[in-house]
Amino acid sequence: MAPDLRTSAAALVVTIACALVVTVRALRAPEPQAKRSATAAERLEIAASIASSEKEWMDEARQHFPEDHWSQRDDFHALELRRIVEMVEQKGVRVEDALQAIDDDIHRKGARDPAASDERYARAVPCKPRPFYD
Amino acid sequence: MGRFAERTAVRIALFALIATALVWAMLPWAAYTNEFRDAQVMNLYERAAVDTVRRFGELPLWNPWYCGGLYGLGAPQSRFASPTFLLSLLFGMERAEPLVVFLFAILGMEGTYRWVRLRVNDATAALRVAPLFALSGYFSVAHFRGWTNFFGFELVPFVLYGITMAARGRTSGIAVASIAFAVMLGFGGTFAAPLVAVAAVFEAIRAILEQPPRRRLRAVVMLAALASFMAAVAAVRLLPLAETLVASPRIMAGTPGHAPKKIFEFLVRTLEARDGNVTDAGMFFVGGGFLALVAFGGAERRSISALIGVVFFLWLAAGYSRKPSLFAILRELPVFSALRYPERFLWLAILYGCEPAANALAKLPRLGDGRRWRVVTSTILTSVIVVTIGVQIAIFADVGSSRELGVVAVDEAREFRQARGNRWLAAHHQGIGLGSLSCWETYPVIMSPKLRGDLAAEEYLLDPDAGTAERVSWSPNRIVVRVSLKRPTRLLVNQNWHPGWRSSVGVVVDDDRLLAVDLPEGEHEVTLFFRPTSAVAGGAVTLVALGSLLLLAIAARRGRVPFRRAVALRTGALVVAPWITLGAFVATWSEPRYPPPQQRNANGTPALVSSAPMDARPAGFRLDFPIVVEAVKIRPPDALKNVTFDLYLRRTGPIPRLTGMFVHVRRRPGQGPLPPAEPDKPEPREFFNADHQVVGGSFFLSDAPEGQLVHDAFGVHVGSAAPGEYDVWLGFGHVSGRKWRARVEDSGGAPVENELVRIGSFVVP
C-alpha cells in the first residue's frame, strides 16, 4: 500500500516543535564544569606516582595473563586507569593534565629509534583481542 | 482512527513525540561525554573524524590518534560515513548524540509501521506496535555503553520493507533497502551487516513465496537487482571494511548459548544498571504484554510466516544451547564465523513479533459482539502497549542516568605525537593531540611493534648519521617532512603503514608495518599523503550506483516496470554500471596489498614453525584423531609463579571447528590435604585449566595448515596453588568438554585418565 503523503498542518507543527525542542535543549544544555588545571607540582607528583607503580602493575598483569602480551598490557592500563582516576578525583584536576604529565615524563628521555630500551613500557604491543571474553 | 494512522505526517508527529520523551532525560547532559570503556573508543572515532574535517579540512580517512594510526573508513566501529555525521560536525559529537538517537528512533518506528502494514490490514494496530521494536531494551544498553552506532539497527525495518516492496515489483523498494543498508553500514557496528544479511535472506524468501507462481521469477530478478544495489550503494564503506577485515580477520571462539529461561528474562525483566554496567536480564525488554500479543496473534493463519521468523530468530538467539544449533551452522559460513553474541538475534525476533502482535490487536476487539466489547478490548490492549512504551522510555532514562559522564578537555595548540596512551581513556588522549598506542578493538588491528610512545621525534631517519629530518607540517592525512641526506636512507614515521600511503619523493615501504619512505640522497621536502584506492573506488561505485538508482526511479515514475521486456536491457545496464566501475578500478589497481596475517602466539612467538627446539621433550602418544603431538616443553613456576607451556603438534587431517585442546594442571593425589586458607589470601587450589580452541588467539586448531608443525604457547598462573607436585594432562575433543573426546590409542607408556595423557610434571614449592 502506498503511503498517504497528505500532510496535516497540526501534525507538521508537532513534528517541527519536537525537533526544535530537542535541538534547542541539546544545544543549550549547560557545559560541564571544567575542573582546574593541575599545577606543575601536581603534574610531577602524578607522573612520579605512575612511574613508581609501573613495574608492580606489569608484574600483576603478567600474573593475570601469563604469556599473553596484549592482555597483559591492557590489564596494565586498567590498573593505571584506576590510579589516574583516583588521583585526579582526589586533587580535583583535569584528567587530561594527568595524561599529559605521564606522557611528558615518558617522553623526557626521548628514544631515538624502535630498538631503544623500554623501561616505561612505551613500545606498542599490537592489538590481539582474546578470542572470547566471557 | 485508521485514516489518521495512515497519514504519514500524523504518524511522524506521534513518533516524534515518543522520541522526544525518549531523549528527554538525555538532554540536560548533552554536553557530557560517556566515560564507559567502549564509549572511549567510539567517541574517539567520531571526535577524530570531526577534528579531521573541522581543523584540517580533510576527509577523515586516516585516524592517527588510535592504535598507531588506522584506516578510519575501514574501522568497523566508526560511524562518520553516514548523513548523521553532519550533526556531529555542526554541533560537536556530544550534543549531536541525542539528536541522532531522536532521529533514529523516529526512523525505527516509521520503518516498523511501514513494514508491518505491508501484511497487516489494520493501520492503527501497526501504528501501536511500531514503537515497541524501536524502543526495545538493547537500545538502552547501547545508550548506556556508548554504542551509538547500534542505533543504526533502527533501519532494519526499512531494509525489510524495501525487500518486500521490490519482490512486489516496486522500484522504490530497491532504493529504500539500498539506502537504508548503506546508512546503517556507514553508521558502523560490527554486527549490523551479518544480522541484516540473515534477516534479508529470510524476508526475501518470504516475499517471493507470497507472490503468485507466475510472478515469482520477476520477484527473484527484482531481489537480485536489490542485492546488487545494496552492495553497490554501500561500496564506499563496504570496500574499506572488507580490506580491513580480510587483512586482519576477527577470531571468535567459544560456544555461547542461552536457555529458554534466560531468553525470557532478556525480554520481560526490567533492565538495570549495576556495578558500572547493565544487567543481562531485560537487555531486550519488550514486556510480557507484547509476548502475549505475539502468542495470540501467532495463532492466526495470516501470521504464520512472521511467526516462523520469530521462531527462527529465537532459535538463532539460543546459540549453542539448542540442539541442533542454528547459530553453530551459521558460524560455519565465512563472514559469520566471527559472530559473538547470539542473543542479538532477539532484535530480529522482536521485529518479526510485531506482525503477529499487530494482528492480535486488530483481531481481539472483533472476537466479541457489540460496540462496548470492541471499545473496552481496544482500550485495554492499547493501554498494555502504552504502558510497555512508558516502561521502555523509563528504562532508557533510568539506565541513561546511571552512565558515568565526564568531559573531554581540548587543546588544539599541541602538536600531534604518539603516546603510550591508555585505551580506557582514549578519547581524552585525542583531545590533547596524543595518539594512544594502547589499543583495543574487536579485531586484531594491524600495528607495528616498532611504534613507540617515547620518541624524541615522530619522523626520524633509520640511519641518523645520514642527515636530518624535520617536520614541516602535519595533518591526519598529510605529513610534510624536510629531509637533508648525505646518502640514501629510510625515513621512518611513527605510525602504522597502510597500502594507501603515498609519497611525493622516494618509495613508501612497509617497515615491519611501520610507515616508512626510502629516500635518495639530497635535499627533499617529502609529502606523505593518504589516498587509499578502496575509498576512491568505493566512493566511485557508490556514486554510480546512486545515479543508476535515480534513473531507475525516474523511469518507474514514468510508469516503466523494470525488467519488462522493453526496458530489461536498460535496467540491466543500470544494475551492472556500478560493477563495471569497480571492474575498471580493479583492472588498474596498483596499490600493494597487505601481506597475509602473521600467525603468532599471544606471547609473540611464531605459531607455525619448521621444527621443535632441541630442549622440547618428544611426546610419544597416538590418538584416534588426526592430531599428532610431537614435542612438549613445560617450564616450572617462575618468579611470578607462572608456568609456561610450548606444545608442538600437527593436524594430519580434517577436524571439526569446535575441536578443543584440554590442558589440565592437577595436583598429584596422595600428597596430603590442602592447607587451610591464609587470611586475605585466596583458597589454595589444586586444579588449573588451560583449555583452548584457538592457537595463540590467531587461528582455530581446525584451520592449522595440514601437515605443518604448529607451536602453541600459553601459560598458567599458579600463585594460589597448594604446594606439591603437579601433573599436566593433555587431550583433545569437543570444545564443550562433554560431547566427545579423542581416544588415546597408544600413550607411549604415559598414564592416561579420561582420554587425557600426562605430558609432564612440575613442583610448586
Domain at B490, CATH number = 2.60.420
B548 backbone dihedrals φ, ψ, rounded to 5°: -65, -40
- Whether chain B has a CB inside 8 Å of the CB on A32: the answer is yes
Q: At what angle do helices B8-24 and B371-401 cross, to 10 degrees?
A: 40
Q: How far is CA B534 from CA B82, B244, B249, in A?
A: 17, 10, 17
**Is B557 part of a structural domain of the chain?**
no
Q: Report the alpha-carbon distance of residue B337 to residue B133 in Å, rounded.
A: 27
B24 backbone dihedrals φ, ψ, rounded to 5°: -50, -45
Q: Grid coordinates in use for B481? A: 617532512
Report the pLDDT value the prediction gives residue B229, as an integer from 0 to 100: 97
Which residues of chain A make contact with B450, given a CB cutoff of 8 A?
114, 124
The residue written with cell numbers 623501561 in the block is: A119
Contacts of B445 (CB under 8 A, 6+ apart): A126, A127, B67, B70, B248, B439
Nearest CA in chain B to A107: B454
- Length of chain B equals 765
**Is B560 part of a structural domain of the chain?**
no
pLDDT of A1 higher than 60: no
Would you place residue A4 in the very low, low, confident or very high pLDDT band (cuts 50, 70, 90)? Answer: low
Residue B328 and residue B247 share a domain: yes
B490 backbone dihedrals φ, ψ, rounded to 5°: -105, 130
Report the pLDDT value the prediction gives residue B742, as an integer from 0 to 100: 94
Under DSSP, the state recorded for B77 is T
pLDDT of A133 higher than 80: no
Domain end point (choices B485, B508, B530): B530
Asked if B27 lies within 8 A of A22 by C-beta distance, the reply is yes
**Is B660 part of a structural domain of the chain?**
yes
Domains contained in chain B, number: 3
B242 contacts B533 by C-beta, under 8 angstroms: no
Query: A27, A128, A130, A133: best mutation site toward chain B, by most B Cβ within 10 Å?
Result: A128
Q: Work out the number of other CB atoms within 10 angstroms of the CB of residue B181.
A: 29
Residue B263 and residue B182 share a domain: yes
**Is B53 part of a structural domain of the chain?**
no
Residue B227 and residue B148 share a domain: yes
Which residues of chain A make contact with B513, given a CB cutoff of 8 A?
126
B741 contacts B732 by C-beta, under 8 angstroms: yes
What is the Cβ-side half-sphere exposure of residue B747, based on CA atoms within 13 angstroms?
17
**Is B419 part of a structural domain of the chain?**
no
Asked if B715 lies within 8 A of A23 by C-beta distance, the reply is no
Nearest CA in chain B to A15: B13
Q: Report the alpha-carbon distance of residue B229 to residue B214 in Å, rounded.
A: 25
Asked if B98 lies within 8 A of A22 by C-beta distance, the reply is yes
Residue B622 and residue B496 share a domain: no
Which of A29, A81, A96 has the CB atom closest to B95's CB atom?
A29
Q: How far is CA A3 from CA B123, B150, B559, in A?
A: 11, 27, 18
Which of A111, A124, A128 has the CB atom closest to B437's CB atom?
A124
- For residue range B6-51, list pLDDT tens digits in order: 999 999 999 999 999 999 999 999 999 999 999 999 999 999 999 9
- Whether chain A has a CB inside 8 Å of the CB on B374: the answer is no
Query: B67, B454, B496, B647: best mutation site toward chain A, by most A Cβ within 10 Å?
Result: B454
Under DSSP, the state recorded for B32 is S
Report the pLDDT value the prediction gives residue B191, as an integer from 0 to 100: 64
Return the C-alpha torsion angle B363, B367, B368, B372, nearest 10. Answer: 0
Nearest CA in chain B to A100: B432
Could you tell me how many CB contacts below 8 A there are between chain A and chain B? 255
Domain end point (choices B488, B514, B530): B530
Q: At what angle do helices B93-117 and B37-54 cross, to 10 degrees?
A: 100
Q: Would you give the distance in Å from CA B563 to the centre of its chain?
A: 36
For residue B746, the cross-strand partners are: B622
B633 contacts B616 by C-beta, under 8 angstroms: yes
Range 67-96 of A in CB contact (< 8 A) with B: 67-71, 73-74, 77-78, 80-81, 84, 94-96
Asked if B91 lies within 8 A of A127 by C-beta distance, the reply is no
Kindly give the residue spans of alpha helices, DSSP state H, lying in A2-39: 9-28
**Is B664 part of a structural domain of the chain?**
yes
Residue B466 and residue B340 share a domain: no
Q: How far is CA B312 from CA B323, B346, B416, in A?
A: 13, 10, 50
Residue B394 and residue B463 share a domain: no
| ipTM of predicted complex | 0.94
Residue B462 and residue B395 share a domain: no
Low-confidence ranges of chain B (pLDDT < 70): 1-2, 189-191
Residue B206 and residue B109 share a domain: yes
Q: Report the alpha-carbon distance of residue B514 to residue B497 in Å, rounded.
A: 5
Which residues of chain B make contact with A64, given a CB cutoff of 8 A?
717
Q: Which residue, among B305, B342, B337, has the nearest Cα to B320 in the 3D structure?
A: B342
Query: Rounded to the nearest 5 degrees, what angle is found at the Cα of B558, between the Cα atoms of B557 and B564?
Result: 100
Report the pLDDT value the prediction gives residue B525, as an integer from 0 to 100: 97
Residue B379 and residue B498 share a domain: no
Asked if A67 lies within 8 A of B8 by C-beta distance, the reply is no
Which of A12, A30, A124 has the CB atom closest to B68's CB atom?
A124
Q: Report the alpha-carbon distance of residue B419 to residue B425 in Å, rounded.
A: 12
For residue B762, the cross-strand partners are: B726
Report the pLDDT value the prediction gives residue B602, as an integer from 0 to 100: 95
The residue written with cell numbers 519536537 in the block is: A18
B128 contacts B354 by C-beta, under 8 angstroms: no
**Is B678 part of a structural domain of the chain?**
yes
Q: Grid coordinates in use for B151? A: 542505533
Q: Report the alpha-carbon distance of residue A102 to residue A106 in Å, rounded.
A: 6
Residue B377 and residue B234 share a domain: yes
CA distance A88 to chain B (A): 12
Q: What is the 3-state secondary structure (H, E, C) of B324-369?
A: CCHHHHHCCCCHHHHCCCHHHHHHHHHHHHHHHHHHHHHHHHHHCC
B343 contacts B267 by C-beta, under 8 angstroms: no
Q: How far is CA B698 from CA B143, B659, B701, in A?
A: 32, 15, 10
Question: CATH no. for residue B720?
Answer: 2.70.50
B271 contacts B373 by C-beta, under 8 angstroms: no
DSSP code per residue over B297-331? HHTSGGGHHHHHHHHHHHHHHTBTTSSS-HHHHHT
- Length of chain A equals 134
Asked if A120 lies within 8 A of B454 by C-beta distance, the reply is yes
Residue B459 and residue B370 share a domain: no
Domain end point (choices B374, B390, B405): B405
Range 227-256 of B in CB contact (< 8 A) with A: 250-254, 256
Q: Report the alpha-carbon distance of residue B204 to residue B219 in Å, rounded.
A: 9
Q: Exposed, middle or buried by CB within 10 Å (0-12, 13-18, 19+), for B267? A: buried
Q: Work out the number of other CB atoms within 10 angstroms of the CB of residue B183.
A: 22
Residue type, B692: H
Q: Report the alpha-carbon distance of residue B754 to residue B742 in Å, rounded.
A: 10
Q: Report the alpha-carbon distance of residue B622 to residue B624 in Å, rounded.
A: 7
Report the pLDDT value the prediction gives residue B727, as an integer from 0 to 100: 97
Q: Is the peptide bond before B60 cis (omega within 30 degrees of 0)?
A: no
Residue B149 and residue B12 share a domain: yes
- For residue range B47-64, list pLDDT tens digits in order: 999 999 999 999 999 999
Helix (H), strand (E) at residue B105: helix B93-117
**The domain containing residue B94 runs over which residues?**
2-30+76-405
**Is B421 part of a structural domain of the chain?**
no
